[in-house]
Each structure stands twice: as structure tokens, then as C-alpha cells.
Amino acid sequence: MSRFTRYATTSQSLSLAAMEEASRRGLREADLQDLFLALTLSGQSAGRVLRDLGITIDAGRTAVEEYQKEQIASLGINASLPPAGDIVLPKAGGYELSKRARDLIGRAGDKGRTADAAAVLRELLDEPSGVVTDLLEQLNTTPAMVIAALDTPSTPPVQNKGTRSRRRGECTVGNESFVPAPINDVWGLLSDPERIPEWDPMAGTVEPTLDETVSSPATAENHGSSGEAAKAGAAWTIYASMTYPDGKPLKVHEKFRRRTLKVLHMTSPSRISWFLTYPDSITNPPMTRTFELAPATGGTHLTITMTWAQRQGWQRLLGPVLLPLRRFLTWIMVTQIRDTISRAFR
């Protein structure tokens, strides 16, 4: 991953998670404490360091609440905070980062910095207001302990990857992340076709289909799993959502309003591959969507991979021109799915 890609991915994921956390408390502007909470959700080394120190999203939220109570009390005001609610984003807009939070993320991407979540965390620890130092005190931790952990080489979580290798002519886009929920809970969400609308922003409804003609590159393989979703030959139809998350109408071309879905591989609770096609669009290539899960401190390490075959014939000549755009659009899709899965457990 290039430095620019790493910085873009980090800033996008942390900014969104911070604004989501602010939205729970009825705030339109996410500040440093929200950025700190976002770091507890990061799948990068900074997130693993915090969680290994016992700083999970739940612990972080409690510390932020206590910090805010102390700030109010220091002003001589005797008042209680309203309870936090559900995450409002992306159902509502108008959220942003505070200027000092934006500047801090910007400094983490400066020359000489690593441009990742660890760089953002180091900038937070050096931030002169002392907000994060106070939060760490609430969590029985110190900046020195966090820095020492950041400076200690860590081993990324071992992912229980499948044995299938990429075939010639295939393109792949992937993303690794952290989900703040036990692996069995995450598996229950991702392995149930009827729950796809809970994590796929493009899905409106899902219905089983009796159509057994849906072609796929392999027969469904099931290991250690049971249930309707694991049966070879079982298929579903996904009907596109016709509204945005905020309820506004969404125009979807007729050829993209239906997708067919089959299981390629399922190993409970570590790996599932879904095979998707557009029956009304013969020019749109099929796609394999694979989720790989592994236990992690405080939750689950999740890898999402999307794979599709390059076009054949004369259309293949356009590949070098269209492939970067296709990869970018697929990357957006992967990050949206990643973020939606995380929100489902927060």
C-alpha cells in the first residue's frame, strides 16, 4: 500500500468513525475525544495497542462521558448529560470534524510521519490541550504506556484464509478491519442471506429463489456449518434499495435492480464466499465477495475481498483504461460495507 493510499484510507475511516461517535451524543462536530474513540475501532496497529491495554470502544465511551461530567462540574454547573443514542450517520448529514481534529489528522500525514492510525494516535498524545491524557487517566493508563506499546513491534492477527488462489485474469480489491463484536456474532450477521440489507448499502430486500440455473465457478463447499444458507444450490435474489439512507429516492437502472446470490464456500465461523451476478446485465461481470474472520482482542478481525474476472474479447482492450476506475469504485463499495458492518455492532 502506498503512503498516499494509507493516509487516505486512515483519514477516511477515522473521520467517519469519529463523526459517528459524535452523532450518538447529539453533536454535529466531532472533536479530539471522538477521534480517540475512532482509534479504538481501528484495525491498524494503533487500535490493537489500545485494545490490548483494555481500551475498547465501550471503555472509551465511558471515559469520555466521565470526562465531560468533570468538565461541566468544573464550571460550577450541576447538570447531567443526556444519554447517548444510536449512531445517526449516514441517515442524517451535516456532520464534520472540528478544525483541530482535521489539523491533527493532517499532521499525521506530513513528511516524516507514518501517515497511519499510529501517527494519528501519537499526535493525539502530544496534543497540548491534554484531552487524551485526561481520558487515559480515566482508563488507568498513561501516554507513556501507550507510546511504549506503539514502539513495541507487534504481530498482526493471523487471518484464517482460504486456500483458493487468484486465477489469471481476475482483479481483487480487499480491506482489513476490526469489528467490535465476538466472532460468532459477526458470523451470524454475514452468513445469513436475509440479513444482507443490514450491511450491504445497495440491498433493499432479499428473497429465496427456486432458480437453480445461477451459474458459478464452483460448487458450494460447506465445512462445519449448517442451515439453509449453507446448502449447495440454494440461491437468493437481492433487490436494490430504492432510497438513500436518509430516505430520499434513489434512481437505480433497471439492469442493476436485481442481483442473484449463491454460496461458494462456507467454513463456520471463519470464512464465507458469496457469488453475485446481475441477471439483467450480461455485460456486468460476476463478483465474488469473501469475508474472512478471526478472533481478536475485544472483537473480530475481518478481511473483505471482492474479486471479479476481467472482460474478454474486444472489451478487454479497454481494461488498462477502465481498471483503475473499477478498482476505485470497488474500493468505495468495500469501505462502505466495512463501515456498515462496524455500525451494526455499535
What superfamily would CATH give domain 170-344? START domain (3.30.530.20)
Beta bridge partners of 293: 302
3-class secondary structure, 131: helix
Compute the mean pLDDT over every residue in the chain, rounded to the nearest whole number.
87
The more confidently predicted of residues 231 and 346 is 346
The answer regarding whether domain 3-151 maps to CATH 3.40.50.620 reads no
Range(s) within the chain of domains with CATH label 3.30.530.20: 170-344
The length of the chain, given as a count of residues: 346
Give 3's pLDDT tier (boundaries 50, 70, 90). Answer: confident
Of 339, 288, 265, the C-alpha closest to 16 is 339
Using alpha carbons, list the distances in angstroms from residue 32 to 3, 84, 96, 137.
24, 17, 12, 15
Spatial separation of the C-alpha atoms in residues 100 and 234, rounded to whole Å: 52
Q: Which grid coordinates belong to 230?
A: 449453507
Mean pLDDT value of segment 213-232: 50
Q: What is the pLDDT of residues 159-177, one digit of tens each?
A: 555 444 556 667 899 999 9
Range(s) within the chain of domains with CATH label 1.10.1780.10: 3-151
Q: What is the pLDDT of residues 69-86, one digit of tens each?
A: 888 888 888 777 788 999
